[in-house]
Chain A
Amino acid sequence: MTKREKLLLKASVAFALLFAIAPTVNAMHIMEGYLPAGYCVAWGVICLPFLIAGFISLKNKIKTNRRNLTLIAMSGAFIFVISSLKIPSVTGSCSHMTGTGLGAILFGPASVSVLGIIVLIFQAVLLAHGGLTTLGANTFSMAVAGPLVAFGIYKLCGKLNVNRRVSVFLAAFLGDIFTYCVTSVQLALAYPSEVGGTAASAVKFLGVFAPTQMPLAVIEGILTVVIVIGLETYAVPELRNIGFLKGKEAE
Chain B
Amino acid sequence: MIVIDKLCYQSKLRYVNASEKFVYAVLTLAMCVASRSALTAAVVFFVNVYLTVAKGGIPFARYGKLLLIPAAFLLVSTTALVVNLSRVPLDAFAFPMGGWYLTGSTSSVLEALRLCYKALAAVTCLYFLSLTTVMTDILGVLRKLHIPGLVIELMMLIYRFIFLLMETASAITTSQNSRLANRDYRTKLRSFGGMGSALLVRSIKRSGALYDAMEARCYDGELKVLPEERPAKKREILFIAGYETVLLGMAVWSWVR
Candidates B33, B73, B188, B207; contact of A133 at CB < 8 Å:
B33
Which residues, 163 to 179 on B, are CB-close (under 8 Å) to A?
164-166, 169
- Complex: how many Å from CA A152 to CA B41? 43
* Residue in A closest to B34 when the chains form the complex, CB atoms: A37
* A32–B119 CB distance below 8 A: yes
- Is B201 engaged at the interface, CB distance under 8 Å to the other chain? yes
Residues in A with CB closer than 8 Å to B34 are 37
A227 touches B197 (CB 8 A): yes
Cβ of B110 within 8 Å of any chain A Cβ, yes or no, is no
Give CA–CA (A119, B154) in the complex, Å.
11
- The answer to whether B17 has its CB under 8 Å from any CB of chain A is no
Instruction: Flag if B197 contacts A235 (CB, 8 Å).
Output: yes
CB-based contact B29/A69 at 8 Å:
no
The answer for the CA separation of A205 and B33 in the assembled complex, in Å, is: 22
| Contact indicator A33/B162 (Cβ below 8 Å) | no
Contact B204 A74 (CB under 8 A): yes
The distance from the CB of B23 to the nearest CB of chain A, in whole angstroms, is 13
For chain B, give the interface size range. 35 or more
Interface residues of A, count at CB 8 A: 92
Q: How far is the CB of B106 from chain A (nearest CB, A)?
A: 11
Q: Contact partner of B161 among A24, A74, A225, A231, CB < 8 A?
A: A74
Distance between Cα atoms of A18 and B30 in the complex (Å): 31
B162 touches A87 (CB 8 A): no
Known pairs A78-B199, A132-B29, A230-B193; A18 contacts B79 (CB<8 A): yes
Given contacts A67-B211, A77-B162, contact A25 B197 (CB under 8 A): no
Contacts of B30 in A (CB 8 A): 37, 133
Question: Does B37 have its Cβ within 8 Å of any Cβ on chain A?
Answer: no
* Cα–Cα distance between A21 and B151 once the two chains are bound (Å): 38
Q: Which of A73-109 contact B (CB under 8 A)?
A: 73-78, 80-82, 84-85, 87-88, 90, 102, 106
Best-surrounded residue of B4, B150, B153, B205 (most CB of chain A within 10 A): B150
Let me know if A230 and B198 touch, CB within 8 A.
yes
- Chain B proximity of A73: nearest CB distance (Å): 3
**Complex CA–CA separation, A18 to B79 (angstroms):** 9
List B contacts of A55 (CB < 8 A). 148, 150-151
Q: Cβ of B249: which chain A residues have Cβ within 8 Å of it?
A: none
Q: Is A70 an interface residue (CB 8 A)?
A: yes
User: What is the distance, in angstroms, from B185's C-beta to the closest C-beta of chain A?
Assistant: 6
Contacts of B194 in A (CB 8 A): 226, 230
Identify A34's interface contact among B119, B148, B151, B155, CB under 8 A: B119
B254 within 8 A of partner (CB)? no
- Distance, CA A198 to CA B185, complexed state (A): 40
Q: Which residues of A contact B182 (CB under 8 A)?
A: 88
> With A and B bound together, what is the CA distance between A22 and B166 in angstroms?
25
Contact between A73 and B129, CB atoms less than 8 A apart: no
A contact residues around B157 at 8 Å (CB): 69-70, 73-74, 76-77
Asked if A70 and B76 sit within 8 Å, CB to CB, the answer is no
Distance to closest chain B CB from A212 (angstroms): 8
Q: A88-B192, A131-B122 are in contact. Are A24 and B72 (CB under 8 A)?
A: yes
The verdict on A128 contacting chain B, using a C-beta distance below 8 Å, is yes
Question: Which one, A74, A82, A121, contacts B206 given CB within 8 A?
Answer: A74
Cβ-based interface call for B221 (8 A): yes
A81 partner, pick from B74, B80, B169, beta carbons under 8 A:
B169
* 9 A-B pairs closest in CB distance: A33-B122, A226-B193, A230-B197, A77-B161, A73-B157, A88-B188, A74-B207, A227-B196, A22-B72
